[in-house]
Structure 1
């Protein structure tokens, strides 16, 4: 069994082997055809895939090309009592699975999960394993892309928050406006959850998580593969033989 995480920008495939994740493939959506060819070759050896996807077009392509060899975990596959969300039909399975993965690693404690990708999600799962919702915000790469698209004369800057305040140069002003603002946004939402549940374990994941790892006063853990952990923790018996 291999696991697939299809996010807003990348397709990732991994295998869990001897207690560790082995990332087999990470490609942008533009390389979908190459990814499908590689996965199709694996199906000839009996490999099956359990997947999470937030991109319906890619889901449709993989269902068509891999058929019975792939199964997607949907929010609807979770018991209703475990999803406390007004519009579950619009809820991305990756958000629930990332929380489920963190919850499975936290010995039954509630979790706050920050997945820092193209979009940044900050979600909460309580001590009973109930997904309670959260925030969707721009990722730092999206913030940068939006700013520089509309203000192309501004210089590109490293993702650090300067020690000096107030900023005394355009470079420092941009670093505070981008990295500083992004960190403040995430910290503020984490704190709102902590105000209600100070025992929650905070987890960071996603490609841009390193920007957030040193938020002052917040003790956290990091795991690069929380969605994969969530997929691994679901009841596989419900999926392995579910496709004709």
Structure 2
């Protein structure tokens, strides 16, 4: 039986249909949760069970509409996961972050993995080679950094997210761009280095809307994996017998 999993992020909703062999056979992205699209996907792929994880508040009417027609599994902190979690406040842990490390552990069993999601915020999460999730960090995303400097000062302009080859900004616009964008790169590289020093060799996986920005601009090898969270949600569904 095919399965639909939904990753509802702060800015985008991702839909993935998985077949019985765990291959994604259909994939869509929208800004908001779309019950009509869900109907279309479920009827077209013989789906009866839906797994949903969200980092935003959802319109209850839409949720009720979906739940009336399908077996809807809301993946929250009460749902069991196939890894050991050391996070002290699991009820506050974003399901997207948890799904990412579950997906990484399934795909790269026996390896230390860093999962980076570069979206509205940039999240860094670490799972070791034994399948133990140690936690991670949350930082402002690229656009948030630029908007914050404009919003919390009187004279700094809001600038576009443009990467400059010169590490030293020759104008205030370039200085803001370098501070935000290069600062994020330095932050990412520092996190990777610290994990290597503490745990040894790591595989670094990145997803999210800004993942392409980082992929070729760091001194470490980073593997882009756009469906990592969906794959992790699928593994959580399977682990719970859905």
Of 24, 29, 49 in structure 1, the residue corresponding to residue 27 of structure 2 is 24
Return the offset for 1:183. 1.2
Name the CA shift for 1:201/1:75 in 2 (closer, same or farther; >3 Å).
farther
Match of 2:191 among 185, 189, 192: 189
Name the structure 2 match of 1:64: 64
The corresponding residue for 1:118 is 120
TM-score, normalised by the number of residues in structure 1: 0.83
TM-score by length of 2: 0.84
Cα deviation 1:142-197 (Å, max 9, x = unaligned): 2223234456862633431x333432223321221111111112222222222211
More helix by share: 1
SS in structure 2 of the partner of residue 124 of structure 1? strand
Secondary structure of the residue aligned to 2:78 is: helix
Q: Which residue of 2 aligns with 1:94?
A: 96
Any residues of structure 2 matched to 1:129-144 within 5 Å, and which?
Answer: 129-144=131-146
**1:27: how far off?**
1.6
Tell me the secondary structure at the aligned position of residue 227 of structure 1: helix
May I ask how many residue pairs the two structures share in their alignment? 234
Question: What 5-or-longer segments of structure 2 have no aligned partner?
Answer: none
Tell me whether 108-117 or 76-85 shows the greater mean CA deviation.
76-85
1:195 alignment partner, SS class: helix
Q: Where do 4+ consecutive residues of structure 1 move more than 6 Å?
A: none
Instruction: Structure 1: state its 5+ residue gaps.
Output: none
